[in-house]
Amino acid sequence: MNVTAPVLHRTDAGLRPDPSRVVARLFLPGEELPRVRSRVGAVVTRVLALPDDEVEQITADLLSDYSTRHRGYRAMLVEHAAVVRSHIGRDVELSDDRTLLLGAAFTAEFAVEGAALCNPSAVLAPDQSGTAPGQVRVALSLRSIGEGHFSSIGFCSALAGPGPIWSFEDRARPLVGATTTPSRWRIEHLRSVLADEHSVEELASAVLAALPAEFTVSDLDRVLAHVHPELLTRLGARSTVDALRRVITSTYDTRFEAGVELAQQVLLPAAADESNGMEDARFVRFEEPDGTVEYRATYTAYDGQRIAPRLLRSPDLRSFGAHRLSGPAARNKGMALFPRTIGGRYFSLCRSDGESTSVSSSADGYRWETPQLIHPPQASWEILQVGNCGPPIETERGWLVLTHGVGAMRTYSIGAILLDLDDPTRLVGRLERPLLQPAADQREGYVPNVVYSCGGLVHDGILWLPYGVGDALISVGWTPLGDLLEALN
């Protein structure tokens, strides 16, 4: 092993948080915090009391000010008004203008990256139209952090090459959320998830026995309506039903409408398990043994108390399926998927013990077996913990894994290790010194002394590494792949 590390060259390209990138969300005053009285009814009463001419003027101003900031703004206001319609008598007719104003009273803008923009991952984009010779388009996922440290998954694109040239493409607006629908479950996967949560008792067993091999949440409702009534009155029955519903509704399909550009897309939490954020997506362009290519990503779901790894699958970065993961390795932050199967099995990096990098395998890509330790904290710059900085990159000499280490003063640095191509549980190379540490002009930020990435890519012999600085902005570096591999060997 070489004790020196190659130089990661910084480019002038970068992204900073843009507070004008906003989405509009349902807002119910008084329900922002638990155990606080809702004020929805009082607000509805005040909206209904406004004179017609004032309502017409306010609505006209709203449409003028916000229609260009939000796609489908009028329809969204009608939808939000319907949420609070129960506070209005059935015989009360509302004009179109008052309906829109009612919806606007329960709508608020949210700046998705108002606090920070960080932790990018990079993959070859599905759309390579218009690129020059020697140039590729790169699709990047971004961790966008807004008010309340609420994280969502944003996107952008960049052009890499020819040579060491990188430029971000314009980030279009307005931002657009996706349409979400329930997805299908396999019964064996549900058994695995419930076993992890120790939630399999008589009521759960009865439900599992009655569900078909593949099912949705509507099938759960049908089965619950026909189980033995005494099972539903037993101690703990309510918590069992709640657990079943929470687990099953944690998976979903989501799609962006035609005409929405990649940079306009934002994935917002759509399940209770991720209600406080979707963090640190690590995307990989995954190739099945039959040559089929799709995009996969792991991300961290956070509900305000618990974290758990989740899986995204997408054929085109326009439609996504969100799935639960299970098994001993699916227990913490920082899972990253290998870009293909090895010996007929799926592999991932994980940090199930909270401080070391391990490798796990899976028969189906959903249940991950007991991990095998490959890289514990060793060097001074990683004495607190280590982890990965994105999915492994296949090279002729092995699987290149970008890593992060946390040292004194909670300083994050980026390093690299090399794993055997045929047996990724075997470490064959390691940088003893970091590839990247926070520079003097990159130490400050939302979280000081941090450089961090969720994935780079190789193009034309160059390793490109977009990375977050201080959890506040994004920079880009590059290094010749050959130099890095020589240092690792």
pTM of the model: 0.95
pLDDT band at 3 (very low <50, low <70, confident <90, very high): very low
Q: Which amino acid is at 406?
A: V
Q: What confidence score (pLDDT) does residue 307 get? A: 93
Q: At what angle do helices 202-210 and 237-248 cross, to 10 degrees?
A: 40
DSSP secondary structure letter of residue 472: T
The answer to whether residue 34 scores a pLDDT higher than 70 is no
Domain 9-19+115-177+252-488 in CATH 3.40.50.720? The answer is no
Q: What confidence score (pLDDT) does residue 175 get? A: 98
CB contact at 8 A, 431 and 488: yes
CB contact at 8 A, 344 and 365: no
Over residues 369-377, mean pLDDT:
97
Query: Which segments of 269-409 does DSSP mark as H helices, in order?
Result: none
Range in 6-15, 311-320, 339-348, 394-403 with the lowest mean pLDDT: 6-15
DSSP secondary structure letter of residue 173: S
Segment 70-90, tens digit of pLDDT: 999 999 999 999 999 999 988
Over residues 301-310, mean pLDDT:
94
Q: What confidence score (pLDDT) does residue 33 get? A: 66
Over residues 244-265, mean pLDDT:
96
Within 288-364, strands assigned E span 293-302, 307-314, 319-324, 336-337, 346-350, 357-362
Helix (H) or strand (E) holding 204: helix 202-210
pLDDT band at 222 (very low <50, low <70, confident <90, very high): very high
Closest to 208 measured CA to CA, from 430, 172, 219:
219
Q: Which amino acid is at 265?
A: Q
* Torsion on CA atoms 22, 159, 451, 143, rounded to nearest 10: 30
CB contact at 8 A, 202 and 186: no
- Please state whether 471 falls in left (phi above 0), alpha (psi between -120 and 50) or beta: left
Q: What confidence score (pLDDT) does residue 198 get? A: 74
Query: Phi then psi for 115, rounded to 5 degrees?
Result: -100, -40
The answer to whether residue 2 scores a pLDDT higher than 50 is no
Segment 288-302, tens digit of pLDDT: 989 999 999 999 999
Over residues 263-289, mean pLDDT:
97
Residue extent(s) of CATH 2.115.10.20 domains in the chain: 9-19+115-177+252-488
Segment 124-149, tens digit of pLDDT: 999 999 999 999 999 999 999 999 99
Pairwise CA distance, residues 393 & 412, whole Å:
21
Mean pLDDT, all residues of the chain: 95
Q: What confidence score (pLDDT) does residue 246 get? A: 93
Closest to 349 measured CA to CA, from 406, 404, 295:
404
pLDDT band at 1 (very low <50, low <70, confident <90, very high): very low
Pairwise CA distance, residues 200 & 281, whole Å:
30
Segment 444-487, tens digit of pLDDT: 999 999 999 999 999 999 999 999 999 889 999 999 999 999 99
Pairwise CA distance, residues 363 & 341, whole Å:
10
Query: Phi then psi for 486, rounded to 5 degrees?
Result: -65, -40
Q: What confidence score (pLDDT) does residue 201 get? A: 81
